[in-house]
Amino acid sequence: MRRARPHRVRMSTLFGTPLPLVLAPMAGPGTPALVSAVCGAGGLGSLAGGYSAPDAIRAEIREVRARTDRPFAVNLFVPSEAAIAGDARLRDARDALAPYREALGLDAGALDVSSPSFDAQLAVVLEARVPFFSFTFGIPRPDALDACRRAGITTMGTATNVAEARALEAAGVDVICAQGSEAGGHRGGFLGGDAGSLVGTMALVPAIVDAVKRPVIAAGGIMDGRGVAAALALGASAVQLGTAFLRCPEAGTSAPYREALARADETSTTITRAFTGKPARGIASRFTREMERAPVAPYPLQHALTRELRAAAARAGDAELLSLWAGQGVARARALPAAEIVASIAREAGLTR
């Protein structure tokens, strides 16, 4: 068995932040205000750019920099080759959504499935020279990783099993984020299919720590100082938390989403493809239950097909049709300002007094 590592020293050299705590990138609820609040409290904030147009990412980076001079990360979604669907499959997926659209007063919906270009998004990250670039769903092309290296940007990739961690290390990625199956939001796996991407954090972190030489960040189900202490004891150099910050006033979480979070317990979440075409963990709802066997287009096409529906559901305050991404630790998410959450977690974990 490996001995525990001297995490705190590793962490401060790794991120240049006082605390080994990373705010997970959260496409949707992750605002520049939340990112900068976590940075200001001593953690590393991550801006989620995966769904955003390059100009929007540029504007959000500027906003974070106006609020804090601490380091932060920008996160993108690595595109996959499988994002092509025949017309028939797209039409079936669109038709399966028709009753929900109708209930919200929307028409049948166009097959407009465009999404932002990864290369254009990455160009903004490079141009802004953000200190950290994190990503999920795969490994960027070697030329993209080279460009980050040349720009002095530290790269952080997501792994849900040892094979993915080894592939990231072999590609020269600097830091590996081990995402356990408890995690809220999308599964970041890209090798091994659905079954191979559902290892729990407690088993995944030591497996990856033992398999690679790169520093490992633990993610999934970590909600308080106890979870942080456990992850560091398992050999993680830092810990990434998403769900723990969803109820912060700085988060862009909508009112019906907040109400669902406040009611949820450890049995409330499920993994569904119905919103985006990729498996993601969120609070179960009428939509996730009814769509279990419905035709779904591959990611990111399904995300584009459900975009209007989700926006209309948010306007109508209908949580049953919203993507309510959350991890299994959701019942321990505190409705407090981000800085207070960071300070409490650091105290509970014995990182500060």
Ligand X SMILES: Cc1cc2nc3c(=O)[nH]c(=O)nc-3n(C[C@H](O)[C@H](O)[C@H](O)COP(=O)(O)O)c2cc1C
State which residue, 33 or 90, has the beta carbon closest to ligand X.
33
Nearest to 126, CA basis, from 54, 207, 43, 37: 54
State which residue, 90 or 246, has the beta carbon closest to ligand X.
246
State which residue, 45 or 188, has the beta carbon closest to ligand X.
188
Min dist CB 301 to ligand X, Å, is 18
Min dist CB 135 to ligand X, Å, is 7
State which residue, 239 or 291, has the beta carbon closest to ligand X.
239
Q: At what angle do helices 32-40 and 338-348 cross, to 10 degrees?
A: 40
State which residue, 79 or 185, has the beta carbon closest to ligand X.
185
What does the binding site for ligand X look like in residue numbers (CB under 6 A)?
24-29, 48, 50, 75, 136, 158, 179, 182-186, 188, 219-222, 240-244, 325-327, 329
Nearest to 100, CA basis, from 325, 322, 333, 265: 322
Min dist CB 89 to ligand X, Å, is 25
User: 292-313 burial string, b = 16+ CB within 10 Å, else e?
Assistant: eeebbbbbbbbbbbbbbbbebb
Instruction: Say how many Å lie between the first and final Cα of the chain, rounded.
Output: 30
Min dist CB 102 to ligand X, Å, is 27
| Phi, psi angles (nearest 5°) of residue 165 | -65, -40
Min dist CB 7 to ligand X, Å, is 18
State which residue, 57 or 97, has the beta carbon closest to ligand X.
57
Nearest to 257, CA basis, from 248, 266, 303: 248
- As a whole number of angstroms, the distance between CA 341 and CA 203 comes to 26
Q: Is 295 helix (H, G, I), strand (E, B) or coil?
A: coil
**By beta-carbon distance, which residue lies closest to ligand X?**
242
Min dist CB 61 to ligand X, Å, is 15
